[in-house]
Structure 1
Amino acid sequence: MTQYQIAVVVGSLRRESFNRKLATAVVKLAPPDFSFTQVRIDDLPLYNQDDDANQADPVKRLKSEIAGSSGVLFVTAEYNRSIPGVLKNAIDNASRPYGQSAWAGKPAGILGVSVGAVGTAVAQQHLRNTLAYLDMPTLGEPEAFIQATDGLFDKAGNIGEGSKAFLQGWMDKYVAWVKRHAG
């Protein structure tokens, strides 16, 4: 049986981030041939093209983790109607130097949760535009604009019963997407 290793990029640094909780919980809905690893982005330097010839060790680590994955799952917050700066910085660092993007060809999925009624819809749209440029085939449907409400997570941190069927359906589609597009 083929094993699929998925890099999970959480677009929030907050310790108690809803998106980190979602990333931890939703991966439990995947089949056993899928494994997920949250990649670290909090130690990356701010992207500077002057550093392309000599990238920092955390950038090299991130690029290696992405390159070694079968796909990428982005779980992002929405800040000021867009993606958080830390996520954009990670994307920029791992996409450079030009022509050496770690992201190219990696099948992607996008999730996000927010206290707002539209979840992270605008951030996800901005992220989709960026991923299209990076040549990442990105799952289009079902979209998952999740509002953080009581019961989203159970006491053990798993997806709560009210959202479990929807997120299981999302995960099933993502798994099929990765299997279709993984090299």
Structure 2
Amino acid sequence: MAQKKIAVVVGSLRKDSLNRKLALAIAHLAPPDFTFEHVRIDDLPLYDQDQDGNQAPAVKRLKTEIAAADGVLFVTPEYNRAIPGVLKNAIDNASRPYGQSAWAGKPAGVVGISIGQIGTAVAQQQLRAVLAYLDMPTLGQPEVFLQNKEGLFDDKGHVAEGSKQFLQGWVDKYVAWVNDHSK
């Protein structure tokens, strides 16, 4: 089976981000023919349409990394019932100029974790609407709206046994999704 490269976009810049931990835990559950490479979004300029003809090196790098991927995993926190600005900025930068989106056609998965009881449900729904516009086939079920609780991650960063089976089910569906939809 051919190696599949997944670009991981974590919508949090926080050093000890729960969503970064979740992204790493997901990578541990994936089969060996899937590699997960985190793309950097903290150095992107604020999107400015005036710069479409002369994109910053960081934007060009992001677009190249997304273009080289077989799929994209979005791991998003929820800030004030929405996706974080840094994530929206990355999406906007890599989708422009019009007609040159790095996202188009890339199979996507969306997950997230929060301390709130509904996890990142609202942010994920908002993100799914954006991804639909960007022509990214996005895995619909199962959905992963995790609430962080003590003991969810073990000392090695893996998901503890109580949640491992649920998350493994999502990973298995995402792997099949990417295999069915990647070029």
- TM exceeds 0.5? yes
2:166 corresponds to 1:166? yes
Please tell me the residue identity of whatever aligns with 1:124: Q
Instruction: Give the structure 1 partner of residue 20 of structure 2.
Output: 20
- Alignment-derived partner of residue 3 in structure 1: 3
CA distance in 2, matches of 1:157, 1:74: 18
Name the structure 2 match of 1:115. Answer: 115
- Residue in 2 that maps onto 1:57: 57
How far does the alpha carbon of each residue in 1:128-154 deviate from its partner, in whole angstroms, 9 at most, with x for none? Answer: 000000000000000000000011101
Verify: 1:153 aligned to 2:149, yes or no: no
1-structure distance, mates of 2:125, 2:44 = 24
Write the mapping of 1:108-147 to structure 2, written as runs, cut at 5 A: 108-147=108-147
1:39 aligns with 2:39: yes
Q: Output the CA distance in 2 between the equivalents of 1:78 and 1:160.
A: 23
Matched, 1:95 2:95: yes
Aligned counterparts of 1:108 and 1:6: Cα–Cα separation in 2:
9
Distance in 2 (alpha carbons) for counterparts of 1:148 and 1:69? 29
Q: Which runs of 4+ in 1 moved over 4 A?
A: none
1:151·1:162 contact (CA, 8 Å) conserved in 2?
A: no
Does the residue aligned with 1:53 lie in a helix, a strand or coil?
Answer: coil
User: What residue in structure 1 maps to residue 175 of structure 2?
Assistant: 175
Runs (5+) with no aligned partner, structure 2: none
| Structure 1: runs of 5 or more not aligned | none
Matches of 2:3 and 2:123, distance apart in 1: 30
> Taking every aligned residue pair, what percent have the same amino acid on both sides?
73
Which amino acid counterpart does residue 134 of structure 1 have in structure 2? L
Instruction: Say how many residue pairs are matched.
Output: 183
Q: What do you get for the CA RMSD once the two structures are aligned? A: 0.4
Contact 1:151/1:161 (<8 A) preserved = no
Q: Distance in 1 between matches of 2:59 and 2:74?
A: 18
How far the C-alpha of 1:155 sits from its partner, in A, is: 1.2
SS of 2:52's equivalent? helix
TM-score by length of 1: 0.99
Q: Do 1:107 and 1:137's aligned partners in 2 also have CA atoms closer than 8 Å?
A: yes
Larger mean Cα displacement after TM superposition, 149-158 or 97-106: 149-158
